[in-house]
Amino acid sequence: MKCPFCNFQESKVVDSRPANEGISIRRRRECLSCHKRFTTYETMDTLPIVVVKKNGNRQSFDRHKLVNSMLRACEKRSISLSALESAADAIEQELHNELGGEISSERIGELAMGKLKNLDEVAYVRFASVYRKFKDINSFLDELNKLLHEREK
Ligand SMILES: [Zn+2]
């Protein structure tokens, strides 16, 4: 890794710690020539996550889309973007851990619902209503009742 200050090729690692929920490693390096310090991030070369949509189409997992869909559900709620970002990190990590390499879009929706449930109940119900495409008011109420029931426990 070239030093960004003097372009010298060699450096030593002075500190190394997991970053981004363990997805990458952050390294502090010191240039062996000018002794200035800089930071590098190492990420595992993981296989892309393939999402299988309801109609059978496949596309690669789009983290951005996931964050946006959660963000929509959180409109006017006091949930920070960083909370959603870390929820998305956790979901991405879980997807990487699942075997098979192909994940249904439903599964991702379920994971997102699980995270939102812990963050904000209103956001959760909104997300669920879009995601599960509640056919009628009854299925919507069912979901609400489930939520209330869990809260009582
Ligand atoms: Zn240097």
> What's the pLDDT tens digit per position in 137-153?
677 777 778 877 877 76
Q: How many residues does the chain have?
A: 153
Rounded CA-CA distance 140/126 in Å is 10
- pTM for the full model? 0.61
Strands (E), 20-143: 24-31, 37-43, 50-52, 58-60, 102-104
Centre of ligand 1 to C-alpha 61, Å, is 38
State pLDDT tens for residues 37-96. 999 887 766 667 889 988 889 988 888 899 999 999 998 888 888 899 999 989 988 888
Distance 99 CA to ligand 1 centre (A): 43
**DSSP letter assigned to residue 56:** S
For residue 15, the CA-to-ligand 1 centroid distance in Å is 17
Separation of alpha carbons 30 and 137, rounded Å: 62
Q: In this structure, which residues have their CB less than 5 angstroms from ion ligand 1?
A: 3, 5-6, 8, 31, 33-34
The better pLDDT of the pair 21, 92 is held by 92
Percent composition of the chain: helix, strand, coil (DSSP 3-state, to 5):
45, 20, 35
